[in-house]
Amino acid sequence: MSEAPTPAPPRRLVLGSTSRYRRELMERLRIPFDVAAPDVDETPRPGERPDELARRLALAKARAVAAMHPGAIVIGSDQVCDFDGEPLGKPGTHDNAVIQLRRMRGRAVVFQTAVAVVCTDAGFEAVELAPVKVRFRELSDEEIENYLRLDQPYDCAGSARSEGLGIAVVDAIESDDPTALIGLPLIRTCRMIRAAGVKVP
Enumerate the active-site residues: 78
Instruction: Yes or no: say if 165 and 150 are a contact pair by the CB < 8 Å rule.
Output: yes
Residue 131 and residue 177: Cα distance in Å, rounded?
9
Contact call for residues 183 and 79 (beta carbons, < 8 A): yes
What residues pair up with 80 in beta bridges, in sequence order?
A: 112
CA atoms within 13 A on the CB side of 163: 13
**Pair 82, 152: CB distance under 8 Å:** no
- Cβ 145 vs Cβ 98: under 8 Å: yes
Q: From CA 93, how far away is CA 186, in angstroms rounded?
A: 29
Residues 6+ apart with CB under 8 A from 40: 57, 60, 61, 64
